[in-house]
Amino acid sequence: MIDTFDEVPFRALRYLTGECNYGGRVTDDWDRRTLQTILKDFYNDEVLVDYKYQFISQANLAKDYYIQQSEDFNEFYEYVQALPDEESPQLFGLHSNASIT
């Protein structure tokens, strides 16, 4: 699908992810707005322009999150393996209490 466009259709990707994929699970209007806002951080032009685009830049996160710029599989694999098993809610712009269930 993406190959048929001159530019990456971020708006369509946000719709497919937020409304089609998660839309049936997110039924509250405020939660849907929150989801769409979070997706704007991940689906935008800046992630393709800025090599070190920071999804979040807070000192209290143990890891910097950015798009790995490598065509070597092993480097990419090592980067992914170094990511924590559980993400902090702060990565998504949420308060740390969001992880309390």
CA distance 82 to 84: 6
Q: Which of 87, 68, 21, 11 is nearest to 43 (CA)?
A: 11
- For the chain, what are the domain ranges? 1-49, 52-101
Record the pTM: 0.56
pLDDT in tens, the chain (101 residues): 557 888 888 888 888 888 887 767 788 888 888 888 888 888 888 877 766 666 655 555 556 666 777 788 898 888 888 877 877 777 777 777 887 76
